[in-house]
Amino acid sequence: MINVLIADDHAIVRSGLSFLIEAQEDMQVVGTAADGLEASYLVERLQPNVVLMDLSMPPGENGLSATKKIKKAFPHINILILTMHDDEEYLYHAFKSGATGYILKNAKDDELLNAIRSVKNGGRYIHSKVSTKMVREHIESPLQEPEFVDSYFLLSNREQEVLPLVALGYGNKEIADKLFISVKTVEAHKANMMSKLGLTTRPELVQYAIKKNLIDL
Residue 79 forms part of a structural domain: yes
Helix (H) or strand (E) run with residue 136 in it:
none
Cβ proximity of 96 and 90 under 8 Å: no
Strands 101-104 and 125-126: parallel
| pTM over cut 0.85 | no
Q: Which neighbouring-strand residues pair with 136? A: none
Strands 78-83 and 101-104: parallel
Cα dihedral angle (133, 134, 135, 139), rounded to 10 degrees? 140
Q: Are 87 and 188 found together in one domain? A: no
pLDDT digits (tens, 9 = 90+) for 82-135: 988 877 777 878 888 899 999 998 889 999 999 999 999 888 888 766 644 455
Going from the C-alpha of 112 to that of each of 21, 81, 83, 91, 175, the distances in angstroms are: 10, 11, 12, 17, 42
Residue 24 forms part of a structural domain: yes
Residue 36 forms part of a structural domain: yes
pLDDT digits (tens, 9 = 90+) for 151-190: 777 788 888 889 989 988 899 999 999 899 999 999 999 9
CATH number of the domain at 45, please: 3.40.50.2300
Residue-number span of the structural domain to which 52 is assigned: 2-140
CA 41, 13, 62, 1 dihedral sign is positive
Q: Are 33 and 97 found together in one domain? A: yes
Closest to 131 measured CA to CA, from 80, 83, 90, 88: 88
